[in-house]
Each structure stands twice: as C-alpha cells, then as structure tokens.
Amino acid sequence: MTDHIVTQGNTWHVRLTIPEDIRAFFGNRKVLSKSLKTGSRAEAMKLRLPHLATWQMQFEAARKEKASRGDHWKEEAFELGKQIEQTITNEFVKSASHRKDPAIRSKHYIKAASPSQLQGMLDQATALRAETEKQIERGTSGLLKAANDYRKAGVPDHITDAINDLCHQVLSDEIDDSEFVREIYIAIGEAELFLRNQCLLLSQSEATEAFQIYRNPNSYQPKSPISTASIREFRSYLEHQHDNKKTIDQQVSRIEHLSEYLTKEAKELNFDTIHAFLNQISTSSSTKRNYIWAGNVYWKWAVRYSSEFRTQFRETPNPFENHSLPRNRGSQGESYVAFTPAQVKELYLKAKEKNSTLADIIAIAVYTGCRLEEIGRITTNDLIYDENQIIGLKINKAKTKAGERDVPIHNELSPLLTRLAATPQDEQYLFKGGKNKYGNRLDYISKQFGRLKKDEGFGINYAFHSFRATTITELYRAEVDNIMIMFIVGHKTGTVTFDKYGKAGPSMAQRIKAINKLKFDLF
C-alpha cells in the first residue's frame, strides 16, 4: 500500500500508519484513515494528497513537541523510584522505633498520584494500616477505593489488582507488615508512573523504559539538563555578545564543569545543588562569584532561547541567585600587591641584564599604568607628538570602554618610545607579538616576567599587573587628584558628571603634569 489508498466496499480510503514513537499524540491509534468518498482510483490518487500532507505535518509537529520535552520523563521515573525507595526505608525505621515502645501506635502513610487529576500527583497521604484490626480495615478500605479510582482513570488492571490483592493478603495475614508496606508502595508508585506517562504522551517503548528505571533507579544515570548541544548554542550566543575570546572560553568552561557535576552526582539543577557545587569548587569567594556569574548568564539565555530548557524549568526560580558568599579574609582571595619604587627598579635592572625587551615593557608599564596587552597593541600610529617629542599615546582597544583613553607620557619615558618608534615591528607595532589563541600579543612577556619575579622571590600576589597598582599608588601618594588618576589609567569615575558629560576629562597638559610626579629613577 505504498500509495496509501485502499478500498472498503466500493469506496476508496486514504490510510497512513502512525510511527510508533508518536502514537501517544494520536490516542495510541496505529493508523489514520479517511474516506475519500469516491469509487474511482484515479480520483482517489488525487484526493489523498491533502490528507497525507496534513497528517505528515501533524507527525512533524508531534515530533517537535516530543523533542522539546527531551528525556525529562526518564529523570521523573528515576526520581519517583528513588522517592519510593526512601519512603519504604523511612517506614521500616518508624516501624522499628514503634516496636521498641508498644504504647506507640504505628500508622503508615503514602503519597501517590491523584487519579482524579491526571496532571498532578497524589495530594494527600492515604492511611494504610494501624495495629488494631479496625485501623487495618480503615487503611485497606482507603486503598481499595484508591485502586478503584485508579482503574477508572485508566491504570491497567495488573496494577490495580495488585493493590487489591495486597489489601486482602494483609487482612488475612498471608503477608507480614514489612512485605505489605514495601509492595504497596511499589504498586501505588507504578500507578502514579502510569498516569505521568499518559500525561507526557510517551510511546509504548518509552513507557516500558520508564517502568524499568522506576523499578531499578540505580541502573539509570540521570543526564544533566545542560546538554552539549545547548552549550554549543550558548557559545555561539556569547560570540555575538562579546569580543573577548578568553572570557567566552572561561564562561563556557564553567558551564561545562557544572554540567559534568550534575551528571556525575545525579543531581537536579536547583539552589541546593548549586550551593553544594560551589562549596566543592573552591573556598575563594571570587572563584564562586565567577561561577555564579556564568550560571546566571546561561540560565537567562536558556530560559529565553532554549524551548526544551524553558519547558523543564518554567516554574523553577533561578538557582544561581541569592547565594551568600563568605566575607572572611581567607575566602576573599588576594588582590595583586603593588611593587614599591625600589622593587620596580630592582626588577627593571634584573630584566635589563637578561632581556632588554622585558625591561622596556616594565618601564612603560610603571610610567603609564597601562595593562600588558594595551602595551602590546601600541603602534607608531598611536603615538601623540608635540613637535618632535612624544607626549602621549592612544589606547584604542582596552578591557573596558573607559580604558580607551589618551595616556600622558612621562618625560623620562619619551626617549624610550622614540627609540622603539624608530624600529617598529610588523604592522608598525612597537613590540613583536607572539602567538596566543586569544590574540594576546605579549603573552610570552607575561611568562618571562613570571619566571623573573619568581627568581627574585616575589610570591603569587605579585604579577605584571602589580605595576599598574604601583602607578596608581604612587600617583595617589604624590597627591594627584583621584579623578585624574582614573582618567590616566582608564577607570570609570563612578559619577554621572565625568562618565557621561565629562568624558573628555583633563587636558593632555594636565595629565602630563600629573604623570611627571612619578619618581622611579630607572634611566
């Protein structure tokens, strides 16, 4: 029946088999059929086409809906199985404690799905039994009624019959209390799972797998809701939002790390899980804050642009918000420590003995407050002249918008820049650039300086960035105005007056006067 038409009597019908994986969307029917109301085969071949096209579109829509739900039904079956296991364990513990004190009357309760509300779970606990025969009958009568309600809701007979049989067996003492408690929880859990599967429109094979997971939850390894595909899409989103590849890589790496944790630990994505994750990541508040930042960015992106994620977490509050991070000194991490002028001179002279390029870059850094990569991007075109003397340089690409600025040049530094400008490197850069995947031209200088400062006995709180801290510290100690310092080093002032209306800031003459208050005696 490759043409999808058959005759019934003298009338042609169009028929199409529903794929097994989406039959639940069509009431578990196996075939769609429609009378074409014609006895002519030639006419039937034409009339069948709109119906087939409509059905195929319905199949496609069902598959898209199914795909948007992902494998969350597996996690639900797993969680239900674990809940039932824990509930049974808790009941045994309670029973044991009751036996120690005969005066205490034991009661068993169970939570399951409400048959009258297919979309929900069993709202209230049903009393199962107590020690007197009257209490037992009261408990089992409640279960018998529940079994009847389940049957009306469509739960298969083998499940509802199991509930009935267990009630009769416990009343006639055919099974002991512990076996009754264990088996009744399992049976009602199966009834709940069946109703969940109906709500989720699972195929027969998926429903079978769900029951297997429920009966043996330890055989299933829950997957992280942060899928590999979504992480790829998240990276693409970040690449359209940011220019800094290193920042993008770091953000993605943190989300990948979290996803691996969720899978390995079989954890749900919620506040408690994120709290536990942060605690095992690091004791540093700074590190934790970076993970929270990455998580927030991912969460906001996913609930907006990932339909599968949005469906799963529609009612879930953002688990990355409202985390209290430690404020004690040990958890804060250490900022880079500024070098003293004497230490700057010591490092400069040691660098000059081995590597004149590193020495030149140290000098520029400490006399300008420029970041290492800002120095690496300086070209001859960025130099500002007054007649034949270099008086400043333009930073056209910086870490922040405020970092794009005109930097004044110290009188003692001008001859060095003049020498470098006379022998430019490729593309007119003052310094030769290395190969770094993030485009950082002076990454090799950072490594060279790392070895130098280690050899000179400086610890982990000192880095090349410490020279920037030195510039700021020494300008402040020379009584340079705070606003002036911010304009020189490229920091936001935090004021509407200067960040919005006074962006031009001090004149170059004012900046030069300020920068010349620095005293390092390097030349």
Determine the Cα–Cα distance for residues 210 and 207; give it in Å rounded to an integer. Answer: 5
Q: Where is the domain boundary, 53, 69, 85?
A: 69
Is 44 a residue whose pLDDT tops 70? yes
Residue 291: pLDDT band (50, 70, 90) is very high
Pair (372, 475) in one structural domain? yes
Q: Where is the domain boundary, 24, 53, 69?
A: 69
Pair (63, 108) in one structural domain? no
Across 299-313, average pLDDT: 88
Which one has a higher pLDDT value, 500 or 462?
462
Looking at the domain assignment, is residue 523 inside a domain? no
The reported pLDDT for the residue numbered 329 is: 45
Judge if pTM exceeds 0.75: no
Total domains, the chain: 4
pLDDT tens-digit profile of 198-218? 777 777 888 888 888 888 887
Pair (114, 176) in one structural domain? yes
Is 346 a residue whose pLDDT tops 80? yes
pLDDT tens-digit profile of 459-493? 888 999 999 999 999 999 999 999 899 999 988 87
196-210, 212-226, 290-304: which is most confident: 290-304
Could you list the residue range(s) of the whole structural domain that residue 232 is in? Answer: 228-332
Pair (9, 96) in one structural domain? no
Across 435-447, average pLDDT: 79
Pair (349, 468) in one structural domain? yes
Looking at the domain assignment, is residue 285 inside a domain? yes
Pair (308, 443) in one structural domain? no
Rg (CA), the chain: 36
Pair (82, 210) in one structural domain? yes
SS (H, E, C) 366-411: HHHCCCHHHHHCCEHHHEEEECCEEEEEEECCCCCHHHCEEEECCC
Is 108 a residue whose pLDDT tops 60? no
Determine the Cα–Cα distance for residues 183 and 163; give it in Å rounded to an integer. Answer: 9
Q: Where is the domain boundary, 198, 219, 240?
A: 219
Pair (491, 357) in one structural domain? yes
Looking at the domain assignment, is residue 488 inside a domain? yes
Q: What is the DSSP letter of 106?
A: P
Looking at the domain assignment, is residue 508 inside a domain? yes
Pair (81, 61) in one structural domain? no
Looking at the domain assignment, is residue 191 inside a domain? yes
Of 55-64, 94-103, 236-245, 376-385, give the lowest mean pLDDT range. Answer: 94-103
Which one has a higher pLDDT value, 78 or 56?
56
Across 225-241, average pLDDT: 88
Pair (81, 200) in one structural domain? yes
The reported pLDDT for the residue numbered 503 is: 64
469 within 8 A of 346, measured Cβ to Cβ: no
Residue 405 belongs to a domain with what CATH number?
1.10.443.10
363 within 8 A of 521, measured Cβ to Cβ: no
The reported pLDDT for the residue numbered 348 is: 94
Is 102 a residue whose pLDDT tops 90? no
Pair (80, 179) in one structural domain? yes
Phi, psi dihedral angles at 55 (to 5 degrees)? -65, -40
Looking at the domain assignment, is residue 521 inside a domain? no
Looking at the domain assignment, is residue 522 inside a domain? no
Pair (355, 207) in one structural domain? no
